[in-house]
Structure 1
């Protein structure tokens, strides 16, 4: 699968830090359904979508959306990632925004806290009778549940998975690792041929470093939040996971430049065969492309030292707003859209992995062996930021999603500074202070 050109591979979940501050300014009393006409007055229903794929995505997405035949005409608008937080916050605050949209992966949960989201409960109930509800991959719908109802509907998946270069592993004389110890063994073999084994980036605009540190916590039965949705960073499993990464740093398995690498830098290291193993989104091979792209393969999930498996992933979503000309029409459009959106994947427009089993079963999708492996092996064991307390997303996860606190933590670990416990204690203190 390919990913949005020129954008970070995470699928743009980031709705945190300065973005949250901007969005919070948009908070005001919720409008009534149908009030103001901002969601598509004048006989139209506004659908705002992001440029999730390559150049082919936008026009094909607009074609699908605007072919909807209902009581209202759908008006499709592509919102660029640059300044998208300001675009949404000002539009929602002034009731001139969309009736339906995608956006940042935690966006729905922020707007829900402001009373701006129309819950998807009735829509999802209606899908139980036509089979669409059961077509979603495991756990996705549950991740959208908040106290008031379902804040959004899963749309595309941004996974964090392990990749390896088949040529370099063969040259190093090792098999793909299956657990933490064999990962260390393969890393030592790769080091001998001049390749790093923990390929990530933690520089400007690249968040794979923080994602993968969290993935290792989850892979060890840990994570950043407890069952009460409170930060709970300093646990034995998290400490063990971060000490493992620090061991890799100390042994020279982690590229020292990782702390400043952008996504482009990371892809360059893959292209130059400096990374023999690493972590990225599902579109890494397509983004690296050239001679090296076909050499890259998805590794099976590692098993942690206590027998756990797990990783971090981001279920990007589509949400409905209370400011709509007709809530029933918003729901009817989404039903149509999900029933007809398969070409966005089968025609290789570059969008992330699909949420529906029926799309993953198409011949076009099955032709991509890496994507199939991600769906079959990684999606079932992956968790959201909410782990280990649960997989439901909530407003609090914005505290660790691309924030300065998380960036500092990541650079501390990848820079080999101090201990895992000390770094986690600092992160915990910062999250509590900012709560």
Structure 2
């Protein structure tokens, strides 16, 4: 693999962390284009195989402390392997990894953005882990992964990563505003439209939808809630299908009703959170754990049940985040050993590290940390089973989704919905762009 190929990628792919890398926490600054700093091997353990583990910032400061403690535990249990932990910020993450790969200084193992393993596998930089999957099957551990998570990690006939967490979008509502308006949480699209109208007026809106990437999650959620999707089962663009059209028209109708703030076209996700927190909007779609971002309103924020679409369907968008190995590793056997150990033992990342995403291991979700928390329990039981990836109904993930989500086509369409533009024209334009990305005529 020539390194020149690594540095000629389109800048659009830089945005592939969309939706799946949000830790809800500010990230430390990183110098653009510079690889993450390597940790020096500790003295006294030079004979051990040295592994570099680059872990993204998936939560608050206690996340990093917890991850470091886990690495220390592994090192004590495996004297023949020394894992050096590197906390890697999201700022300029793409340049960090591509620069390291091009320079021959890639880590042995890393976590990363939802499509990162597929993107770098296309470059020839990712080490397949088919043997790891086979081992998990043989010892029965693969059955501990939530359905349709491990198989999503297959690309070009090989498993390129191992899933560890799920990021998903769910709707929250202001209990106090609903009570004041004399309405209850909706169960169907028709009920949502009626409730949103009653909650709107006088500068207040039933729902706030930002014009950035976070707003595209609303569009995906409603399309999947109507069993729509961007693709056919054989990976052809199918954006203008009847179910998607119905979903886009519904959102457009809500804008016309005055139920969605049109100024949201210029909102960021933080702006939307502020609007919701100030009581200017009653419904918002966010990631698990969102109420913790507004601690003063925590008791006033409720999680809605999945809506039933016009044809009886339920669904929303989710991403399966993963952990991957790199071909440059001088110790692939030891890296795979650490990968399996990390997957088996990283439950403390939730219990102590407070990751806002949800684990893919069934046994982890049975912990009281999840079963005794109403919000986490409800998302795991009601929302995770109906989650769909951007590739739906195609059964796996692929590199082009980086551009589909990050190039700007979905953001532009979301903004145009809020600006009241014709749904058919904006869908036709988006369809043309997506076909270009997929190299379809």
Matches within 5 A, 1:22-421: 43-68=49-74, 69-70=77-78, 71-191=80-200, 195-203=204-212, 207-290=213-296, 292-388=297-393, 390-418=394-422, 420-421=423-424
d(CA) in 2 for partners of 1:353, 1:242: 29
**Residues 229 and 239 in structure 2, CA contact (< 8 A), matched pair in contact too:** yes
d(CA) in 2 for partners of 1:171, 1:149: 54
d(CA) in 2 for partners of 1:359, 1:255: 39
Structure 2 alignment gaps of length 5 or more: 1-16, 24-31, 36-45
TM-score, length-normalised on structure 2? 0.86
Equivalent position SS for 1:319: strand
**How far 1:241 sits from its partner (Å)?**
0.7
Equivalent position SS for 2:405: coil
**Residues 346 and 362 in structure 1, CA contact (< 8 A), matched pair in contact too:** no
TM-score, length-normalised on structure 1? 0.87
Question: Among 18, 21, 33, which residue is 1:12 paired with?
Answer: 21
d(CA) in 2 for partners of 1:255, 1:202: 11
CA RMSD of aligned residues (A): 2.3
d(CA) in 2 for partners of 1:340, 1:94: 32
d(CA) in 2 for partners of 1:370, 1:416: 34
d(CA) in 2 for partners of 1:359, 1:297: 24
**Residues 117 and 321 in structure 1, CA contact (< 8 A), matched pair in contact too:** yes
Query: Cα deviations across residues 3-36 of structure 1 (Å, max 9, x unaligned)?
Result: xxxxx9933289xxxxxxx99xx9xxxxxxxxxx
**Residues 13 and 104 in structure 1, CA contact (< 8 A), matched pair in contact too:** no
Equivalent position SS for 1:312: strand
**Residues 49 and 334 in structure 2, CA contact (< 8 A), matched pair in contact too:** no
d(CA) in 1 for partners of 2:407, 2:169: 18
d(CA) in 2 for partners of 1:259, 1:66: 46
**Residues 156 and 351 in structure 1, CA contact (< 8 A), matched pair in contact too:** no
Q: How many residues align?
A: 400
The runs of at least 4 consecutive aligned structure 1 residues that moved more than 4 Å come to: none
Equivalent position SS for 2:406: coil
Structure 1 alignment gaps of length 5 or more: 1-7, 15-21, 27-39
Question: Among 424, 427, 434, which residue is 2:427 paired with?
Answer: 424
